[in-house]
Amino acid sequence: MTEKINNNEIKIIHTGDLHLGMTFKSLGKKSKLHRRDCQDVFSNIIHLCIKEKVNGLLIAGDLFDEPNPSKSIITFVIDELKKLKEKNIPVFLISGNHDPYKKNSFWFNHKFPSNVIIFENNSLEPKTVGNLTVYGLAYIDNTKEPLKDFKAKSSNDFKIGLIHGSTINIKVKEEPESSYRPIKKAQIDSSNLDYIALGHFHDLLEVKAKTKCFYCGSPEGLSFKNNLDSGILLVKYSKKKVIVKPIKTSIRGFHTINVDCTKFDNDSEIRKILEKNKGDNKILRLVLKGSPSLDFQLDVDLFMKEFESEYFFLKIVDKVHIPDNLTEDETIRGQFIKLIKSEIEKEKNPKKKKIFENALRIGIGHLDKKL
C-alpha cells in the first residue's frame, strides 16, 4: 500500500461518531431497530467509498459507543472493512472518548484487516499511503491538546489531521464533554495541514480557520440534539485546493416541534400538526407549551393511540400550564382554585406538579358544567 496515487485528484470520505451499539433507551420498543439503522448506515458508507473510488476512509473516533462493545458489533465492523480491503481502499481509524485506546481493550483483542491503520500513540503521528498522509493520534485521555506545538512536515502530499476533540466553537448547553481534548484556532492555523477531520461533535460544523477544518457529525441521528440530514463529508483535494461536500446518509430524522397552545381552546390545531408531519422514518418529539384557557382539554394518551403508528417514533411532551389569571374568590370554584394552586406552589417534583395542574383543569371543567 505504498504505491503513489496516479490521478491528480485525491478523494476521501470523512466520518465519525457512529456510536455503534448505542442502546437508544429513550426510543422504547424502537430502540433495537434504530441500533440496526446505525449499522445499516455504516454499511452504506462502505458502499459509498467503493462507489466513489475514494483514496481513503477517515473515521474520527467513537466508532463504537462504549469501551467494551459486543463481539457481534466488532465482527460486523471488521467484515465491512474487509470489503474496502478487496478494493485496496485504506482506512484511517482513531479511537474516541467512548471507545478509548487503552490496555486490555477490544483494540488489542481483535484483528482488523491489513488495510485498516489504527493510530496507537498519544501524539500525532503520520501514516502515508500514496500521496495521502494522515496525522492521527489515539484517544487515551481527555486533557491532551492534540495540536499543541504541532506542525506537519512540508510535502506535496494531501496532509490531513485526524483528531477526536473539542474546538472553542463547541459551546453546547448540557454538553458535559464539550471541553475534552481542546483545540485552539491558532493551533489549526499553524498546523501546516491541508485539512483537519474532526470527531466528537455530533453535527456538521465548519471551524473557520486558514486550514479547512470540519466536524463531519454523526452519519445517523443519535438524539433530539442532532440537526436533521446527518451525513458524511466527501473531501476532494486537487491543485492544492480542498473542496468539501456534505452527503446525507441518515435513515431516520429526529424532529422537535414546539407548539404554543396559549390561544387554543381545543386540540384541533395539535391534531393538524400531527397529521401534517407524519412519516414512517420520522422520530418526532412534539412539545406542547403555553397557558391556554381552562376550556382546553389535553389528552396525550388519545393522541398517541391515534398517531403513534404514523411515525417511526412519537413522543408528546406536555408542558402546558394553567393560566395565571384564575380568580380566587369565596365561591366553590374560587376556593377549589385556591386549594389546588397552593399545592402546585408547594410541590417540587415536576411530574407531581403536572398532576395537580391537570387535576385543576379537569376539576374546573366539571364545576363549570354543574354550576
pLDDT value of residue 4:
47
Report CA dihedral (67, 72, 78, 84) to the nearest 10 degrees.
Answer: -120
pLDDT value of residue 161:
98
User: Given the C-alpha cell 459509498, which residue does it identify?
Assistant: 48
Distance CA 46, CA 77 (A): 10
Query: What's the predicted TM-score (pTM) here?
Result: 0.88
Domains present along the chain, CATH in parentheses: 10-248 (3.60.21.10), 253-370 (no CATH)
> Which amino acid is present at 314?
L
Closest Cα partner for 273 from 263, 259, 262? 259
pLDDT value of residue 1:
47
What residues in the chain have per-residue pLDDT under 50? 1-6, 174
Q: Please state the φ and ψ torsions of residue 284, each to the nearest 5 degrees.
A: -115, 130
Distance CA 338, CA 91 (A): 67
Q: Where are the beta strands (DSSP E) in 261-330?
A: 279-289, 311-318
pLDDT value of residue 53:
97
Q: What tens digit of pLDDT does each residue of 84-125 get?
A: 999 999 999 999 999 999 988 899 989 999 999 999 999 999
Distance CA 326, CA 337 (A): 7
